[in-house]
Structure 1
Amino acid sequence: MSKEIQGTAGLLEAIRQKGRVWVKDSLGQPMEWVLASHWSSEDGQEGTALLFDLFQIRSICPPFSEVSLDIVQFASKPTVYHSPVNSVLQAGPVKDGIIRFSVIKHPTWNGLLFSISQVVFAKYPVQVPEGAEIFVVDAPFLLQAKGHKALYLDPEGGIKILKA
């Protein structure tokens, strides 16, 4: 059985020390968070970069045009973008040259990511290993909900709807 820990103070310390943590949202859905600096080939190609601000896109994707940035900035629903990966990204969940990312706008999650101040990759849904510490955050993580969108977005503003 895993050990549940309420609140985010311990989460910040744990992810800074270990580079990865297990997190559960208020709906009881677990996910694994991994700092970009701790992602390894053993982590595979599945995962989503969680960003707290538009400027972080530069660290994972080639420079975006104003049109592309506006699409991300003004999205009204939680959206996962599929975009070409920046060649300077050393490791991450990249599949066929494409990386998935989302700018998290929910205040609780955005504040947590801001406090971490690094690109975080999330793997979900996942099975939490027996005996693992899992940090419980009192907010729903909307990317795991059925209502999120998925778009292919290229740096020049080209769009393809993958999931409406």
Structure 2
Amino acid sequence: MSLAAETRRAADDHPFLRTALRAGVVNYTAAARFLEIDGEVDAVATALRRYAEELPAYERDARDVRVRMESGIGPVDAGSDDALIAVGGTSFGFDGGDRTAIVAAGDVDAAALAAVLQGLSLEEIIPASAAVGGDSIVVVVDRLEGANALRAVENALEAVPSSGE
């Protein structure tokens, strides 16, 4: 395998690096050291620079969504009329519980959900449940994290990576 091919494979094994290459925000020498590829660091850095030039540009789109917060969320029986979200065998809905649901309705898809989860992670908010279906994303968080989660979801949906990501 050539050094260029090995460098591309190694970069592709690290999605954050591929995103950074697309966005043009990489220190190529530091990235070459990070990848620990057998070869001269300068040669790996050059291969990364060339790979970055071939990748589609990193672009983001704001989504047309309405985001709201619903309090009093807790576990409910699967199939219950009160269920707001069901993932696997776990359902959450309106039961006066101690969780909050953030509901984003509108132009949403799996890419939007991924952006939302990444935004929540950056805020160190760990959802109890999250899903996308139809034209809605629902994320269930602890009640005390509701306001911060709402802002994180709104911010994430203002900058969803475009296709090619």
| TM-score, length of structure 1 as denominator length | 0.27
Higher relative contact order (CA 8 A, sep 6+): 1
| TM-score, length of structure 2 as denominator length | 0.27
Greater share of residues in helix:
2
Structure whose CA Rg is larger: 2
